[in-house]
Amino acid sequence: MKLLIVESPNKIKKIRGFLGSGFQVAASFGHVRDLPAKGDLAVAFTDGKVLPTYATIERSTRAVSELAHLAQKADEVLLATDPDREGEAIAWHVSQLLGERAYKRVVFHAITESEVKKAMAAPRDMDMRLVNAQQARRVLDRVVGWLVSPTLRTVGKAAKSAGRVQSVALRLVAEREKEIGRFKNIDYFILSAKLEKPGTPPPFEARLIEWQGKPLEQRLKNAAIAEKMVEWCKKQEFKTISCDRRESSRNAPPPFSTATVQQAASVRLGFNPEVTMKLLQHLFEEGNITYHRTDSTALAPEAIAEARKLISKEFHPEYLPKDPIIHATKSANAQEAHEAIRPTHPESGADALGTGDEGKLYRLIWQRFIACQMASGRDQITTLQVACAPEGHKTPDGTVVAMAVFEAKGKVTLFDGWRKLAGEDATEEAKSKGKDEEEEAELPLINSGDTLLILDMAAQKRSTKPPPRFTQASLIKKLEKDGIGRPSTYANILRTILERGYVEEKKRKLHATDLGLSVTDFLVRNFTGNFIDINYTARLEDDLDRIARGEADWEKVVTEASFAILALAQRAGLRGNPLKPLPSATSFSARVER
DNA sequence: CAGTGAGCGAGCTTCCGCTTGACTT
């Protein structure tokens, strides 16, 4: 009998089916060993060496004894944890716990018969470079948390925690809070003319963009001046200067990853990320969708083939692109151990799971999956420029130009493509920007030189708007873009900063509290250039990648980064040096003297 | 002699990331 170990119990049944009777398949249920959750740092730094002291995670004792029991009876143990650095580390920790014996490492890139068989035919050794990259990540996160959190006591009793991820998430909310606090809205006017080409209705709106030969750089704030301009323009002649028509195409969006499905569920269905994750977990356990904690937008070739089959069955042939669409994963720090989130049985249709919360979320996933393989949409964008008083202004150098120029923009959908199914991907930022920037209206066919009739003109009052607040989902989207945090932790990051009282949620918008603002101020004042910088994680990831490729030494990276944090933390009020425990002789003699 | 304060030590708390359960409301 051979024992094969995976992370998730949900894979066991399927893999067992592919492997046949000679195999026992069991799960580790994620990590099994870690630095102890409580107590001291549990990492010793001596002579450039880094020595973490790991302990079995309490929750894992049952899984570990089960694995030990099965391993004892097995002739061979194969470690088939996920193909990324956390998975490699899990494999290593499992092997350490099960004791001295030979292990083989196999890597499944998908749980399909062909992939599993291919992987089983190509076992390899443990990749200690990947394991060390994970150890570096883990130890450094510990050092940041354990050295920086105590310094917060000087901020106040309520200030409890700081970390490489949570503090940056908090900083984003806090800085937005300050921007909004500083913001003073300004009232201004836009001059909008209702024009028509005689005999060619309908009328359309055009907006003032140039005055006396100069672009309107500053907003028009004076009501009396705006009114005078309106009255003057109304009496002038209007003539088309140019009519530019061009085509623009909109490519299909990628299928969902954890961060993007959370964003879409928030905007379209009003679910917060924690609710979305619960629903996804259930959809996954019932076998309706692929794994839901992923940063990948990759799809299995069979899945793409199914999507294309459905598209050709349900839609006009022009909705099916000639070739399958490959979506590159855009997230800054993707590890791509899994596929994108997609339905496992798309042939049953979008509404296969009904109209409850789970059914609605499934429908969203189904639509996005099919849409991601559909043809691009095409729009015709028309930009019309109109002169008011075409020869009404003489510039200082003597050239004669129009007194004013107005512009109208129109957009017509030539071909909806994937939008027939998924609609536009409305983000919250886009919603709060408002629609008055680009009118969707159709413009009549007008040629350069055509004379136009002015039907009406008015100065419309507008007001500038502060930047939008983050929601849980839009903050996660930002974190993903900057490579901060991982799919399995996004919802937890939000929970942490909410529970600590650093951030509050009001009507689904995030507000930094006074505590959150003072914690951020303190951290920025003391740790700029280090973990509190938005790009710190990106730089760290470069180092971790070098470790994983065997180009850098993990202990050197961790030692240097840790002592840099120590120096800043001591300046910020940390007492003692947790990185250098006293030599054992000293503490011994101290004890004896007493 | 009672009250106060300095100093010391013990105990508690703190990080990120991987994966699901079930001592009962």
CATH superfamily, domain A190-245+382-408+436-463, is Topoisomerase I, domain 3 (2.70.20.10)
The single residue listed with the structure tokens 């679910």 is A271
Q: What is the structure's pLDDT at A434?
A: 44
Q: State which of A191-205, A220-234, A379-393, A479-493 shows the largest mean pLDDT.
A: A479-493
Q: What positions of A carry a catalytic annotation?
A: 291
pLDDT by residue (tens digit) across A288-307?
999 999 999 999 999 999 99
A221-245 average pLDDT score: 86
Residue A564's alpha-carbon distances to A137, A140, A347, in angstroms, are 15, 11, 55
- Interatomic distance A102 CA / B24 C1' (Å): 43
Q: Answer yes or no: are the C-beta atoms of A93 and A33 closer than 8 Å.
A: yes
- Interatomic distance A144 CA / B25 C1' (Å): 38
Query: Is the pLDDT score of A353 beyond 90?
Result: yes
* Alpha-carbon gap, residue A375 to A380, rounded angstroms: 16
The residue ranges of every structural domain in chain A are 2-126, 134-182+469-589, 190-245+382-408+436-463, 258-371
Residue A468 main-chain phi, psi, to 5 deg = -70, 150
A352-381 average pLDDT score: 95
Query: Is the pLDDT score of A216 beyond 50?
Result: yes
Query: Is the pLDDT score of A332 beyond 80?
Result: no
Of A88-102, A431-445, A522-536, least confident by mean pLDDT is A431-445
A268-281 average pLDDT score: 95
Nearest residue to A391 via CA among A381, A402, A378:
A402
Q: What is the structure's pLDDT at A425?
A: 55
The pLDDT confidence band at residue A424, using thresholds 50, 70 and 90, is: low
Q: Answer yes or no: are the C-beta atoms of A288 and A332 closer than 8 Å.
A: no
Q: Sort residue A270 into left (φ over 0), alpha (ψ -120 to 50) or beta.
A: left
The set of strand B positions with any atom below 7 Å of a protein CB reads 9, 13-21
Residue A421 vs residue A367, higher pLDDT: A367
* Alpha-carbon gap, residue A386 to A123, rounded angstroms: 70
Of A91-95, A291-295, A354-358, A445-449, least confident by mean pLDDT is A445-449
- Interatomic distance A373 CA / B9 C1' (Å): 66
Of chain A, the percentage scoring pLDDT greater than 90 comes to: 69
Q: What is the structure's pLDDT at A588?
A: 43
At the topology level, CATH places domain A258-371 in Topoisomerase I; domain 4 (1.10.290)
- Three-state SS for A483-546 is CCCCCCCHHHHHHHHHHCCCEEEECCEEEECHHHHHHHHHHHHHHCCCCCCCCHHHHHHHHHHH
Structure tokens at A545: 């990648």
Residue A48 main-chain phi, psi, to 5 deg = 75, 0
pLDDT by residue (tens digit) across A91-140?
999 999 998 788 999 999 888 888 899 999 999 999 999 999 999 999 99
A188-217 average pLDDT score: 85
Terminal alpha carbon distance of chain A:
59
The pLDDT confidence band at residue A589, using thresholds 50, 70 and 90, is: very low
Of A64-68, A252-256, A428-432, A477-481, least confident by mean pLDDT is A428-432
Q: Is domain A2-126 classified as CATH 3.40.50.720? A: no
At the topology level, CATH places domain A134-182+469-589 in Topoisomerase I; domain 2 (1.10.460)
Q: What is the structure's pLDDT at A531?
A: 97
Rg (CA), chain A: 31
Q: What is the structure's pLDDT at A433?
A: 45
Query: Is the pLDDT score of A52 beyond 60?
Result: yes
Query: Is the pLDDT score of A507 beyond 70?
Result: yes
User: H-helix or E-strand containing A94?
Assistant: helix A85-98
Structure tokens at A205: 């709106």
Q: What is the structure's pLDDT at A393?
A: 73
User: H-helix or E-strand containing A98?
Assistant: helix A85-98
